[in-house]
Amino acid sequence: MLSAEELERYARHIVLHEVGGPGQAALNRARVLVIGAGGLGAPVLLYLAAAGVGTLGVIDDDVVTLSNLQRQVIHETPDLGMPKVESAAATIRRLNPHVAIEPHGLRLNAGNALDLIGRYDIVADGSDNFATRYLVSDACYFAKKPLVTAALGTFDATLTTIRAHERGADGKPNPTYRCLFPEPPPPGSVPACAEAGVLGALAGVVGSMMALEIIREIVGFGAGLVGRLLMIDARSMRFETLAYQWDPTNPLSGVKPTIRDLSGHL
């Protein structure tokens, strides 16, 4: 039951036919885990907190540095040197005291991924490296949790939703992350953010779209991004969508799977 204060806080949601009181109550009950409190994780956390998602978990083992502040808008200059999960938690508490925040100041790995992910209803992956993306996507498959995952380039980005533990309307399994990207690129072929740079506002756009997709998944309206990869080109301000399907040869959920646990990520 929402309090009078919450009813006023979320009034602009509640008057939406697609959300209403039941949708806002669903947000209030939801538990969302955000991987990374950086460029993508920052706007995801801010908008999910503002939307009234009941419990937000955030995983990050880094501290706030000056170069983060160009895009990681959940942190401020006085937070320099503070663990990102603590800085993010403090900001969320100021923004919306009705939201419970669960900071996990650690690095996600094969040993803790299933336990952590299993505590939440849906996962948002804003990590900045391929190893973590594959770990998160595999763990979500085994934990039977939906995943909203995005990646940033210098002036480009991608976004999709993975529900690989379920089947589509056609009866076929939904695609996995490995159906879309069978293998990570060779080490060193994709420069890190510190080397190549990233447009700060682009992180805000994509992180906000991740939050929107998560809200749609929780409330249940619109056509989600399962089986669709949204591609954004910030140079030309162009948005395109690529459809992709389950690959029966993929090693995770294919006809003859070879990945049966997370041991390959050790």
Using the CB atoms, write b or e for 170-179: b if 16+ within 10 Å: eeebbbbbbb
At residue 204 the predicted structure's pLDDT band, cuts being 50, 70 and 90, is very high
CA 139 remoteness from chain centre:
14
User: Would the pLDDT of 58 be above 80?
Assistant: yes
Phi, psi (degrees; rounded to nearest 5) at 122: -150, 150
Per-residue confidence (pLDDT) for residue 197, from 0 to 100: 82
User: Would the pLDDT of 187 be above 80?
Assistant: no
Q: 245: closest CA among 155, 168, 192, 190?
A: 168
Determine the Cα–Cα distance for residues 232 and 241; give it in Å rounded to an integer: 9
CA 177 remoteness from chain centre:
13
Per-residue confidence (pLDDT) for residue 128, from 0 to 100: 87
Determine the Cα–Cα distance for residues 16 and 35; give it in Å rounded to an integer: 29
Per-residue confidence (pLDDT) for residue 266, from 0 to 100: 73
Per-residue confidence (pLDDT) for residue 1, from 0 to 100: 80
Determine the Cα–Cα distance for residues 98 and 6; give it in Å rounded to an integer: 8
Q: Which of 84-88, 173-177, 198-202 has the lowest mean pLDDT?
A: 198-202
Per-residue confidence (pLDDT) for residue 52, from 0 to 100: 98
Name the token pair of 11: 């009034």
The answer for residues whose C-beta is within 8 angstroms of residue 48's C-beta and 6 or more apart is: 32, 34, 56, 124, 211, 214, 215
Per-residue confidence (pLDDT) for residue 68, from 0 to 100: 95
Rounded to the nearest integer, the mean pLDDT of the chain is: 94
**Domain spans of the chain?**
4-265
User: Would the pLDDT of 36 be above 90?
Assistant: yes
4-265: CATH topology? Rossmann fold (3.40.50)
